[in-house]
Amino acid sequence: MIPEIGHAALILAFCFAVIQALIPLAGAQLGKTRWIHLASPVARGQLFFIGIAYCCLTYSFLVNDFSVRYVASTSNTQLPLIYKISGVWGAHEGSLLLWAFLLSAWTVVVSIFSSSIPKIMLARVISVMGMVSVGFISFMLFTSNPFIRLFPAPVDGRSLNPLLQDFGLAIHPPMLYMGYVGFSVAFAFAIAAMIDGKLDSAWARWVRPWTNIAWVFMTLGIALGSWWAYYELGWGGWWFWDPVENASLMPWLVGTALIHSLAVTEKRAAFKSWTVLLAIFSFSLSLLGTFLVRSGVLTSVHAFATDPARGVFILVFLVIVVGGSLVLFAWRATALRSVGQFSIVSRETGLLFNNVILVTMAGTVLLGTLYPLVLDALGVGKISVGPPYFNQVMLYLAVPLYTLMGLGLFLRWKKDSVSRLQSKVVIPFAMALMAGILLPLLLAPEQSGLTFIGLISASWVALAALLWLINSTQSPFKLPASTWGAVIAHIGMAVTVTGITLTSVYSHEKDVALAPDESYQVGDYDFKLISVKEIRRDNYIAYQGVVEASENGQHLVLMYPEKRTYNQSSMPMTEAAIDAGLFRDLFVALGEPLGEGSWSLRIYHKPFVRWIWLGALLMALGGLLAAMDKRYRRFKGNKEARS
């Protein structure tokens, strides 16, 4: 019964979405106030029903209703409560439902914090978000309905891969989706502005906080995914250039460009068409990312041959979103005249180049991710490009990007002179050079070109941000939150770059065979295998190794790597032991028994690996601060006082 209620609620939500997509927009075009005022209530109605559908599916998971096909294929009776709740978004159908639910929630939140936005604009924005909603809900209803029954119902469901039974992974998809969906707000505003034919700095002020928040969620989501891969997969890597990862990196890169382009649109009334294009593409890439990861196209492009409806729907959906918005762009973009002029040496130029680099980065990731899929789909051949491609290209592009990240802060809007810029940047640049060259020479056992490039870049980005803050004429504590946000986000990037550089260059990774009481030395650390014994827990049995790590002969810590076998699964799972620290992680994973008590072990020493995620946290904090800047709220207050 409950699944049928959910199904019915989904159909009702679809009806509301259709009304939301058509009526307020028509009202805005025809000047019918009543229709315009329908926008908010109808969005709330949609949220109400899609919320019911979502609760029904969660309920089916909680009571183990295996007559629902989706539940039977992703959950089972043994699963702990939290993973039943997160199981809802564990596969294709449920992820779509979560997406549609979050989209609907974002729409309602936008309608609540909209007192400063003209009703007619708001109506258009909500209609555009309604259109996206129509797309997602009809995708579910017509091709991927999570409420479809299974007859006869199995006694127990399929096991959830034990790898996925992990808190980090459970909250990773909703975080990412909050980001993906959040970009739909910027997209909707961009479409609304094109219909309106007007895009001014007030428009940019409405869009900026929403884009920032979406970007913050994406940053956190990507960092969580990377952290999970590091501690759970047992490989000790933090980024694999896997298509699943790339799918989330592309909208992040374009979204980062969008944030910066919006700044120019707000402050200088320039880059208007460019901002609109970025908003369209960051959302389109978000859609692409969702579909790539969840539709099965990555596992096999031929999955679509057996279920063509899905593939066709996705292609049509993407074509409508991208094609439709580009047609609108071609038709209306001339109306969005950018009046702000700037000379070659100006902050605008700096940001323009920063944008171009970020978009090029996204383009190269897109090429490496999609080209092999396209070739395979056409039956031309099976190729793949490995991490070396991505690493090489990103390195080429990152160096000019970081250079600009520092320069851009010191550049003045509109017109600046090279000599003034030189006088400003010479100190931070000299300091960065010294830090980047001296630190590795004094502290590191060996150096490579990459160390210098990475550390000079990181110190330059961080020092430029700090000095910019100190040099500003006001007291740092009187500066607006958005200034602090920019500084913290830039420093976060520097911290991440430091982590990436030092981990990549100085990590020791070794697979070794050890008998009990044998030890192996990695750098200053000594790893001694003490024993491996069998242990039993509630839902798994495991081999547990005891490894003593010592530093320069001093006992440091006992580490307990495990090789688990879960009850529902015949598949063994490596649970690495990690001794985490701000400056280094020690990482030990059990391999296989080699006979006579000896085991193969994977031993890593990873300096500064935590900095990668620490930097991401700082970037997210910076984005949040910038979104909470007073001027976005002050504007709202003024308007309310006037009305």
Task: Give residues in contact with another protein (CB under 8 A).
Answer: 161, 163, 233-234, 299-302, 341, 343-344, 349, 352-353, 356-357, 360, 363-364, 367-368, 371, 381-386, 388-389, 392-393, 396-397, 400, 511-513, 569-574, 589, 591-592, 594, 600, 602
Of 469 and 547, which CB lies nearer to another protein in the complex structure? 547
Of 146 and 561, which CB lies nearer to another protein in the complex structure? 561
Residue 305: exposure state from Cβ atoms within 10 A (0-12, 13-18, ≥19): exposed
For residues 482-492, b (16+ Cβ closer than 10 Å) or e, as one string?
A: bbbbbbbbbbb
Q: How far apart are CA 294 and CA 89, in angstroms?
A: 10
Structure tokens at 347: 């902050």
What is the DSSP secondary-structure string of 193-218?
A: HHHHT---HHHHHHHHHHHHHHHHHH
Q: How far is the CB of 361 from another protein (least distance, A)?
A: 9
Alpha helices in 144-242 (DSSP H): 167-196, 201-232
Residues in CB range of 148: below 8 A, 6 or more apart: 68, 69, 70
Q: How far is the CB of 382 from another protein (least distance, A)?
A: 4
Nearest to 212 by CA among 566, 485, 557: 485
Q: How far is the CB of 222 from another protein (least distance, A)?
A: 20
Q: Answer whether 349's CB lies under 8 Å from 414's CB.
A: no
Q: How far is the CB of 364 from another protein (least distance, A)?
A: 5
- How is residue 526 annotated by DSSP? E
Q: How far is the CB of 600 from another protein (least distance, A)?
A: 5
| 152 prior amide bond cis, ω within 30 | yes
Q: Answer whether 199's CB lies under 8 Å from 112's CB.
A: no
Structure tokens at 373: 């899929």
Q: How far is the CB of 570 from another protein (least distance, A)?
A: 7
The structure tokens 């180049």 sit at 353
Of 53 and 532, which CB lies nearer to another protein in the complex structure? 532
Q: Answer whether 76's CB lies under 8 Å from 83's CB.
A: no
φ and ψ at residue 426, rounded to 5 degrees: -65, -40
Q: How far is the CB of 237 from another protein (least distance, A)?
A: 11
Of 78 and 600, which CB lies nearer to another protein in the complex structure? 600
Q: How far is the CB of 500 from another protein (least distance, A)?
A: 18
Q: How far is the CB of 131 from another protein (least distance, A)?
A: 33
The secondary structure element, H or E, covering residue 298 is none
Residues in CB range of 367: below 8 A, 6 or more apart: none
In this structure, what is the dihedral angle of CA atoms 210, 399, 346, 472, given to the nearest 10 degrees?
Answer: 70
Of 303 and 328, which CB lies nearer to another protein in the complex structure? 303
Of 334 and 392, which CB lies nearer to another protein in the complex structure? 392
Structure tokens at 553: 């002969």
Of 361 and 493, which CB lies nearer to another protein in the complex structure? 361
Q: How far apart are CA 220 and CA 179, in angstroms?
A: 9
Q: How far apart are CA 8 and CA 288, in angstroms?
A: 28
Q: How far apart are CA 643 and CA 639, in angstroms?
A: 6
Of 220 and 573, which CB lies nearer to another protein in the complex structure? 573
Q: How far is the CB of 357 from another protein (least distance, A)?
A: 8
Q: How far is the CB of 166 from another protein (least distance, A)?
A: 12
Q: How far is the CB of 262 from another protein (least distance, A)?
A: 20
Of 305 and 438, which CB lies nearer to another protein in the complex structure? 305
Structure tokens at 435: 């830090």
Of 44 and 415, which CB lies nearer to another protein in the complex structure? 415
Q: Look up residue 612 and give its amino acid.
A: I
- How is residue 235 annotated by DSSP? S
Residue 519: CA count within 13 A, CB half-sphere: 15
Of 157 and 234, which CB lies nearer to another protein in the complex structure? 234
Q: How far is the CB of 609 from another protein (least distance, A)?
A: 20
Nearest to 406 by CA among 355, 356, 481, 457: 457
Q: How far is the CB of 362 from another protein (least distance, A)?
A: 12
Q: How far is the CB of 359 from another protein (least distance, A)?
A: 10
Residues in CB range of 435: below 8 A, 6 or more apart: 455, 456, 459, 463
Residue 430: exposure state from Cβ atoms within 10 A (0-12, 13-18, ≥19): exposed
What are the distances in angstroms from CA 527 to CA 210, 262, 413, 546, 575? 49, 52, 56, 10, 17
Of 115 and 391, which CB lies nearer to another protein in the complex structure? 391
Question: What is the torsional sign of CA 140, 97, 187, 412?
Answer: negative
Of 115 and 341, which CB lies nearer to another protein in the complex structure? 341
Of 191 and 573, which CB lies nearer to another protein in the complex structure? 573
Of 41 and 387, which CB lies nearer to another protein in the complex structure? 387
